[in-house]
């Protein structure tokens, strides 16, 4: 029995001893901390206390961030929290230079795959490294990627407009790029003629155009973050009944897009060369009118920020919108290829970013208005292309709008191919909403 008691009490005694040690250690830490505080100068303590109070006051004064918008903008009230793109620090620039030197060495040794990765790494470290842009451009030319080479030289010139090497390189690629673009426009023109030759009463064409209408609304709101499915959107438009359990704001965005499309189709398409500011405001009033009637159809009165792009100040918005409309109605603009004209109008409007919300949707509607006035079908930028879409817009903001024009041309060709395939003898359905983008790049070859 004595052994059993001893076995039971020994662990308890060990725990008591451990607890006593821990308490003595805590008392010792407390005494040392007090001694350090006593040794600190009073002024330092006051400074630290004041800094703490200032920090707390700053945190209390911070405004509440607005709810996440479906656009890529935040109002200037959150400016102090916005981190703008900065220059690469010196140590990062050194790393980029070392990567470039290694890339050139790998290229000299014929290890082109390694060289390619090192060029990319150098530009990831320092996106504004002009020498790397030039050398990677030359490397791309050698790989027969003229479009990428031209883009790299163009970016180098945006950073350093008088760089002799970039000027010489761009002078070599620009004529080739213009020829490639014109050839692509010719292919698109051939496909437009084929689509226009389809009889208007063709049942397959009528069916696919009706389907593409719902697809267009689905993708254009999904790009901005709307979570409604294609079937839910169809239900809302056809029945005007709400979908239970879904955001009313999102459902109102769909109704707004439907109203705006109807306005464009019935009122504006026939008025070639006479787009006004009032027309753009009316489009926007319908786009946003059901979700945010206060901001719908009026220019913003606050500064907004879109990624690294800072749109014009609110006081300059109306002036820049007048200039945009004047350009759209000019002979110069109408002399451009319809796809180029539509892409530039889209880009110019989204660059001005004249509204608090709904800029992307309004810009895409304006683009499609121009295309439809030229006899093209309305095109759809699919939600799966969102990353590429924003990437080429950012490239345009950095000074090279050509990638954005090519992106819109690709979307145009994809839409034309869809119509041509759907109206052939063995027709197929539209690509599934939210499905794979594998088919987006596939096109129908046309003999020219």
Q: What is the pLDDT of residues 211-225, one digit of tens each?
A: 999 999 999 999 999
Confidence (pLDDT) at 329: 92
Q: What's the confidence (pLDDT) of residue 200? A: 82
pLDDT value of residue 362: 98
9 labelled ligand-binding: no
Ligand-binding site membership of 240 (annotated): no
What CATH superfamily classification does 198-427 receive?
A: Fido-like domain (1.10.3290.10)
Q: Determine the pLDDT at residue 443.
A: 44
Classify the phi-psi angles of 18: left when phi > 0, otherwise alpha if psi is within -120 to 50, otherwise beta.
Answer: alpha
User: The tokens of 3 are what?
Assistant: 């052994």
- 116 pLDDT band, cuts 50/70/90, is very high
Tell whether 78 is in a known binding site.
no
CA dist 374 and 301 (Å) reads 34
3-state secondary structure of 306: strand
Cα(148)–Cα(197) distance, rounded to whole angstroms? 36
Distance CA 334, CA 350 (A): 20
* pLDDT tier, 19 (very low <50, low <70, confident <90, very high otherwise): low
What is the structure's pLDDT at 290? 96
**Would you report the helix, strand and coil content of the chain in percent, each value rounded to 5?**
70, 0, 30
Q: Is 307 annotated as a binding residue?
A: yes
Taking 70 as the threshold, does the pLDDT of residue 432 lie above it? no
- In tens, the pLDDT along 338-352 reads 999 999 999 999 999
Is 191 within 8 Å of 402 (Cβ atoms)? Answer: no
Give the angle 230-231-235 at the CA atoms, nearest 5°: 120
Which residue among the candidates 116, 219, 353, 426 is catalytic per the annotation?
353
352 contacts 366 by C-beta, under 8 angstroms: no
Q: Is 357 annotated as a binding residue?
A: yes
Residue 105: pLDDT above 90?
Answer: yes
186 is in an annotated binding site: no
- The answer to whether the annotation marks 171 as part of a ligand binding site is no
Q: Residues 142-148: what's their mean pLDDT?
A: 94
* pLDDT for residue 172: 96
User: At residue 118, does pLDDT exceed 70?
Assistant: yes
The pLDDT > 90 percentage for the chain reads 69
For 356-407, write each residue's pLDDT tens digit. 999 999 999 999 999 999 999 999 999 999 999 999 999 999 888 999 999 9
Higher pLDDT, 29 or 41: 29
Model confidence pLDDT, tens digit, residues 245-283: 999 999 999 999 999 999 999 999 988 768 999 999 999
Helix (H, G, I), strand (E, B) or coil at 73: strand
The model's pLDDT over 31-49, given as tens digits with 9 standing for 90+, comes to 565 444 444 443 443 444 4
Helix (H) or strand (E) holding 256: helix 248-263
pLDDT of residue 106: 96
Q: Which of 59-63, 137-141, 258-262, 415-419 has the lowest mean pLDDT?
A: 59-63
Residue-level pLDDT at 424: 82
- Asked if pLDDT for residue 64 goes beyond 80, the answer is no
173 appears as a binding residue in the annotation: no
pLDDT of residue 86: 57
CATH of 90-177, one of 3.30.465.10, 2.60.120.620, 1.25.40.10, 1.10.357.20: 1.25.40.10
Confidence of residue 29 (pLDDT cuts 50, 70, 90): low
| pTM, two decimal places | 0.73
pLDDT in tens, 292-332: 999 999 999 999 998 888 999 999 999 999 999 999 999 99
What's the whole-number average pLDDT of the chain? Answer: 82
> Per the annotation, does 389 bind a ligand?
yes
Ramachandran category for residue 434: left, alpha or beta (phi over 0 → left; psi -120 to 50 → alpha): left
Q: Is 336 exposed, middle or buried, given 0-12, 13-18 or 19+ CB atoms closer than 10 A?
A: middle
- The pLDDT of residue 30 is 57
- Residue 71's contacts (CB-CB under 8 Å, 6 or more residues apart) are 224, 306, 356, 357, 358, 359, 360
Find, among 298, 303, 302, 253, the residue nearest to 277 by Cα: 298
Query: Is 353 in the active site?
Result: yes
Question: Does residue 198 carry a pLDDT above 60?
Answer: yes
Q: What is the residue whose two structure tokens read 């596939």? A: 442
- Domain spans of the chain? 90-177, 198-427
pLDDT score of 304? 93
- Tell me if 90-177 shares its fold with 198-427: no
Please say whether the beta carbons of 236 and 242 come within 8 A.
yes
Q: How far, in Å, CA of 374 to CA of 111, rounded?
A: 49
Question: Per-residue pLDDT for 445 more than 90?
Answer: no
Which of these, 250, 219, 216, 254, lies nearest to 368 by C-alpha position?
216
- As beta bridge partners, residue 305 has 74
Q: What is the pLDDT of residue 220?
A: 97
pLDDT value at position 426? 52
The token pair that represents 229 in the structure block: 């499915």
């Amino acid at each position: 029995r004595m052994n059993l008691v001893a076995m039971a009490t020994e662990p308890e005694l060990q725990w008591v001893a451990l607890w006593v040690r821990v308490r003595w250690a805590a008392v010792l830490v407390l005494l040392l901390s007090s001694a350090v505080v006593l040794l600190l100068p009073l002024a330092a303590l006051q400074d630290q206390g004041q800094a703490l109070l200032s920090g707390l006051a700053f945190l209390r004064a911070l405004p509440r961030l607005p709810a996440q918008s479906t656009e890529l903008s935040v109002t200037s009230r959150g400016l102090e929290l916005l981190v703008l793109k900065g220059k690469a620090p010196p140590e990062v620039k050194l790393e980029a230079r070392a990567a470039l030197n290694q890339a050139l060495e790998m290229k000299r040794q014929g290890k082109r795959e390694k060289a390619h990765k090192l060029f990319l790494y150098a530009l990831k470290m320092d996106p504004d490294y002009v020498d790397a842009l030039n050398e990677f451009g030359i490397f791309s030319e050698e790989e027969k990627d003229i479009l990428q080479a031209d883009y790299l030289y163009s970016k180098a010139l945006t950073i350093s407009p008088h760089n002799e090497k970039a000027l010489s390189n761009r002078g070599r690629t620009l004529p080739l790029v213009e020829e490639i673009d014109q050839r692509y426009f010719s292919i698109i023109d051939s496909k437009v003629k084929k689509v226009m030759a389809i009889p208007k009463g063709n049942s397959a064409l009528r069916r696919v155009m009706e389907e593409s209408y719902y697809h267009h609304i689905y993708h254009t709101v999904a790009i901005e973050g709307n979570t409604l499915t294609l079937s839910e959107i169809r239900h809302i438009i056809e029945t005007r009944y709400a979908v239970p359990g879904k955001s009313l704001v999102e459902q109102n965005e769909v109704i707004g897009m439907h109203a705006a499309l109807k306005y464009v189709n019935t009122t504006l398409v026939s008025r070639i060369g006479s787009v006004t500011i009032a027309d753009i405001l009316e489009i926007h009033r319908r786009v946003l009118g059901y979700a945010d009637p206060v901001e719908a159809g009026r220019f913003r009165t606050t500064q907004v920020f879109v990624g690294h792009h800072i749109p014009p100040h609110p006081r300059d918005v109306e002036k820049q919108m007048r200039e945009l409309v004047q350009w759209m109605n000019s002979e110069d603009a109408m002399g451009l290829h319809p796809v180029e004209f539509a892409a530039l109008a889209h880009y110019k409007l989204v660059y001005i970013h004249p509204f608090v919300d709904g800029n992307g949707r309004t810009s895409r509607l304006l683009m499609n208005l121009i295309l439809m006035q030229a006899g093209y079908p309305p095109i759809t930028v699919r939600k799966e292309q969102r990353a590429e879409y924003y990437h080429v817009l950012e490239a345009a903001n950095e000074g090279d709008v050509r990638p954005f024009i090519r992106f819109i041309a690709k979307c145009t060709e994809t839409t034309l191919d869809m119509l041509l395939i759907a109206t052939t003898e063995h027709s197929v359905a539209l690509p599934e909403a939210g499905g794979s983008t594998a088919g987006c790049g596939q096109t129908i070859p046309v003999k020219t």
